Amino acid sequence: MDIHALQQIVHQTRDARRKQTLPKLSPADRDQLIHKYHPDFRASAFRPIRFGPNVGDKTAIELATLLEGDSSIVDGFDLTPHYTTDVLVVGGGGAGCAAALHAHGAGAKVMLATKLRLGDSNSVMAQGGMQISVAPEDSPVTHFVDTLKGGHMQNDHQLLKVMVEEGPSIAKWLLSLGVLFDRDGDGNLHVKKGGGSSKPRLLTCSDYTGLEIMRVLKDEVLNQKIQLLEFCAAVELTSDEKGNCTGAIFKDLDNQRHVVVAAKSVILATGGIGRLHIQGFPTSNHYGATGDGLCLSYRLGAKLMHVDTFQYHPSGAVYPEQLIGALVTEGIRSEGGHLVNAKGERFVNELDTRDVVSASIIRECEEGRGIRTMSGRIGVWLDTPLLDAASGPCNRSCCLRL
């Protein structure tokens, strides 16, 4: 059967599937599934790092290779600074802009450098929403517990406590800058239920949460006249004799010249590593998400945490062709969209944690219940017409495999 014939099965099984409730997996079943199918457990995709602070630690081959790379800065490089600042923020996404604005607000002289444009980041693409415990039935403690569970109890407790406790104040800060979060009739923030959480906690701005937040943060950075270095990629951090970071060296992508910045403090807000395409996976990550900050800090002697785990977003498009790698928001699953295999069956509770959903999708594909697209990629269906029967057939197969 070709893909269009297989699509008919999705339509035929829709009504029956609607009546089904699939349980979330027990911790034991979850572990078994993840060990067999989650990409973090593919031994062949990992190797030990050969030197540096994490020597011997296993990580994805792509990351290990990058961490072990040579510096592009040659001996005798002139380190005379072109700019001197109090705080240097490397990265122009949500974290970078927020850090720059807070440091600026506290009276520091701030410079923000990014290898692309201000605001180019994964933050701008976040659709599903932002988890903050604002609902009366929710609490920062519950948020903490839910996150620990999602993180297989590996999270840094102190950091996590700060994040869940400061979330509400950050929401207030964003509101004061003019971010338009969705509201309930009584004016309170509207919260949706996201994957892996026990209470509704997702703050949203229509389907454009990240875009709305980033439009505002970017505009605010410009309004505050924070000094910018755009299209300048950080290639090395500088340090004093004691190993303290004293600034960074950038390469201006427009003229290939180096720019040296001296700073009292350097904040790395460089984002993730999706664009390394670990294990050959497509990514929904921004073009710039190449793990620069990990390398920069590793070369200065920082020990990296959790180098053996990576998050895989369960749903990304593999069909149609021009949408390959495009993220399909978690929101579609939280609204009740079904994941369906070639036989028309659901195979996982769509609101289970991301690792469980990802591993289940891979299991279906590997065990021959996936759908092959025109370009030979294998995926499973995400039944979206279920959500809006009126909009006609627009099934997308979504998957993590090539």
In the region spanning residues 179 to 218, those forming contacts with other proteins, defined by CB under 8 A, are 179-180, 183, 186-189, 198, 205-206, 208, 210-212, 215-216, 218
Residue closer to other proteins, measured from CB, 35 or 172: 172
Rounded distance between C-alpha atoms, residue 364 and residue 370, angstroms: 6
Looking up tokens 């949460």 gives 209
Nearer of residues 142 and 309 to other proteins, judged by Cβ: 142
In the list 48, 69, 105, 280, the residue contacting other proteins (rule: CB under 8 A) is 280
**Residue in 95, 371, 382, 399 binding other proteins, rule: CB under 8 A:** 371
Which span (83-91, 221-229, 242-250, 383-391) binds other proteins, by CB under 8 A? 221-229
Interface with other proteins, residue 322, by CB under 8 A: yes
Instruction: Rank residues 147 and 265 by Cβ distance to other proteins and give the closer one.
Output: 147
Residue 80 C-beta: closest distance to other proteins, Å: 26
**Partners of 250 in the β-ladder:** 234, 259
Close Cβ partners of 389 (under 8 Å, ≥ 6 residues apart): none
Tell me if 312 contacts other proteins by CB under 8 A.
Answer: no
Minimum distance from CB of 59 to other proteins (Å)?
19
Q: Which of 4, 15, 21, 27 binds other proteins (CB under 8 A)?
A: 27
- Say whether residue 368 binds other proteins (CB under 8 A): yes
Give the catalytic positions in this structure: 313, 333
Residue 50 or 306 with smaller CB distance to other proteins: 306
Judged by beta carbon, residue 297 or residue 373, the one nearer other proteins is: 373
Place of tokens 């990992």: 46
Judged by CB under 8 A, the chain residues 145 through 174 that form the site for other proteins are: 145-146, 148-149, 153, 157, 161, 165, 168-169, 171-172
Binding to other proteins, residues 48-107 (CB under 8 A): none
The minimum distance between CB 351 and other proteins, in angstroms, equals 12
Give CA–CA dist 144/370, Å, rounded.
36
Rounded to a whole number of angstroms, the minimum distance from the CB of residue 204 to other proteins is 11
Burial string for 30-55 (b: 16+ CB within 10 Å, else e) reads: beebbeebbbbeeeebbeebeeeebe
* DSSP letter string, 13-46: HHHHHHT--PPPPPHHHHHHHHHHH-GGG-GGGE
Work out how close the CB of 62 gets to other proteins at its nearest, in angstroms, rounded to a whole number.
13
**In angstroms, what is the minimal distance from the CB of 125 to other proteins?**
5
277 torsion bin: left (phi>0), alpha (psi -120 to 50), beta (else): left
d(Cα 317, Cα 282) in Å, to the nearest integer? 9
Pick the binder of other proteins from 33, 96, 100, 120 (CB under 8 A): 120
Helix (H) or strand (E) holding 332: helix 330-334
Tell whether the torsion through CA atoms of 127, 132, 133 and 134 is positive or negative: negative
Q: Can you tell me which of 12, 32, 71, 375 binds other proteins, judged by CB under 8 A?
A: 375
- Interface size with other proteins, residues (CB under 8 A): 90
Task: Give the C-alpha separation, 314 to 309, whole Å.
Answer: 15
Rounded to an integer, what distance in angstroms lies between the CA atom of residue 176 and that of residue 170? 10
Choose between 134 and 229: whose C-beta lies nearer to other proteins: 134
Tell me the three state secondary structure of residue 177.
helix
- Report the 10 Å Cβ neighbour count for 355: 23
Q: Which is nearer to other proteins, 279 or 384 (CB)?
A: 279
Query: What is the distance between the alpha carbons of residues 115 and 290, in angstroms, rounded to a whole number?
Result: 11
For residues 215 and 258, which CB has a smaller minimum distance to other proteins in the complex? Answer: 215
H helices within 274-315, ranges in order? Answer: 292-299
From the list 56-64, 101-109, 295-303, 362-370, the region that binds other proteins by CB under 8 A is 362-370
Nearest to 326 by CA among 118, 45, 131, 127: 127
Cα distance between residue 134 and residue 190, in whole Å = 9
Min separation Cβ 180 and other proteins, Å: 5
Contact with other proteins (CB under 8 A) among 59, 114, 122, 395:
122
Of positions 238, 246, 270, 284, contacts other proteins by CB under 8 A: 284
Q: Of 74-82, 301-309, 317-325, 331-339, which part binds other proteins (CB under 8 A)?
A: 317-325
